[in-house]
Amino acid sequence: MSKLSSSGRYSSVAAILHWTIAALIIAQIAGGWFMHQLPNSSVIKFDLYQLHKSFGLSILALALFRLGWRLTHRAPALPTAMPGWQKLAARGLHWVFYALMILTPLAGWAIVSVSPTDIPTKWFGIFTVPHLPFFGGETSRALEDMMEERHEILAFAILYLLALHVAAALKHQFFDKDGVMSSIIPEKKRHWMGAGAIVAVLAAGALFYLAAPSARPAPAERALPSHSHDHKDSSAPANAGASSIEHSDDGHEHQAVEAEKATADAVAVDSNAAVLVETPSSDEHSHSAVWAVDYGASALKFTGLESGAKFEGVFSDFTAAISFDPDDLANATISVSVSTVSASTGNELRDSSLPGSEWFDVKNHPTATFTSTSVRKVGAGYEADGALTIKNFKRPVTLEFSLDNDGHEAVAIGHVNLVRTDFGLGEASSWLDEEGVGLEVGVEFEIHATRSE
């Protein structure tokens, strides 16, 4: 049974929750609007989204507690002089607010639950909040967009009702002077301190999230093999020595995953350089030299456009099996396997999308591969025709590269231009129309190798 307030005022708990939730909702709406206006290239947008989720879940928890309190503690009676329709409108508005305070964060939670990006939700980086179970694990961009639309509609509804609520409260306080607004204002300073304490705890959680890198969710947390790319030189960055390719320091460390081998060739590991030895062809006329790739000095990069601005990225984990002799191009072979989970651009929001099903879909397609079919001399350089496979899309491509080869050490520098949608990457029109992600992607590589035979 509900307890009736005998003082004509809301209880201290109800008052504390009222003002705390009100402050958080206003901050959430303002913060949501601000982060929505930021370009995806903003370095703070990813973190703002994570904090927005944490504060939203906090509002949901407080709103549920407030609802429980309201059901067990009856609100004070409204003034007898108030017209009946106003009493009905006031009570109805309160219950609509309860519904919105619960449904709005639930809609935000649903966005994360159905998003193909699959970014985990961590409450201020302290513990992981599971996805909502109502959708049976289904994820899609269309469903995500629908939930985003619902979330925005509910947020605007709160904003409009909040304005109406404030206007009504001011009317009661300054025109009617009936004490309605006073009934929800805490009587004692310690009650205001209670509201401040809740806000302070949540603010401390936000500071913890920002100050502790380990508290932040990876752009897409997923099960990774426990082993790393053993054959890489850990003392050198993946793009060290690539002098002809512009480098960018993204300030992030990325976990390496051992790439699936493109061929059934034997792998030999050297402490200073990774040696991939391809089993020579059984053709007795084949004399192509086998090369050991120095991954510490080699680089595999990609470039693209987003909202008209160029961005660069790297694949920090790839393997290459190379058999190549300039005098025996008929028997030259090049096989490359790239761990798509290792793609990074230094922008957390962009990087959070890359592993998702709309892009590389690393859960189902952890590697991209290139296998040459022919190599030929063209002018001062070379061209390698072959098949590039990303996800389930296999397309013919031609690599153009120059070669500096002294017979023992060689450096190959080249590129290829791709259309991302040819490989099922970001096919939804919103990536081009709304996010402004260009269709053309440039891939650049610089491979340092030594002859291993």
Can you give the pLDDT at residue 239?
35
Can you give the pLDDT at residue 40?
67
Can you give the pLDDT at residue 367?
95
Q: Give dist(CA 124, CA 46) in Å, integer.
A: 13
Identify which of 86, 94, 75 has the alpha carbon closest to the alpha carbon of residue 22. 94
Buried b / exposed e over 366-380, threshold 16 CB at 10 Å, is bbbbbbbeebeeeee
Can you give the pLDDT at residue 174?
86
Can you give the pLDDT at residue 217?
63
Amino acid at 111: I
Can you give the pLDDT at residue 388?
97
Can you give the pLDDT at residue 169?
86
> Residue 401, class by beta-carbon neighbours within 10 Å (0-12 exposed, 13-18 middle, 19+ buried)?
buried
Residue pLDDT tens, the chain, 453 long: 344 344 578 888 999 999 999 999 999 999 998 988 887 667 788 888 889 999 999 999 999 999 999 999 988 888 888 888 988 988 999 999 999 999 999 999 999 999 887 788 889 989 999 999 888 778 887 888 899 999 999 999 999 999 998 898 888 888 888 777 888 887 777 778 888 888 889 989 888 888 876 666 654 443 333 323 444 433 333 333 333 333 333 333 333 233 333 333 333 333 333 334 333 444 444 456 899 999 999 999 999 998 888 999 999 999 999 999 999 999 999 999 999 999 999 888 788 888 888 899 888 899 999 999 999 999 999 999 999 999 999 999 999 999 999 989 999 999 999 999 999 998 877 777 767 888 999 999 999 999 986
Is 307 in a helix, a strand, or coil? coil
Helices and strands in the chain, H and E counts: 7, 17
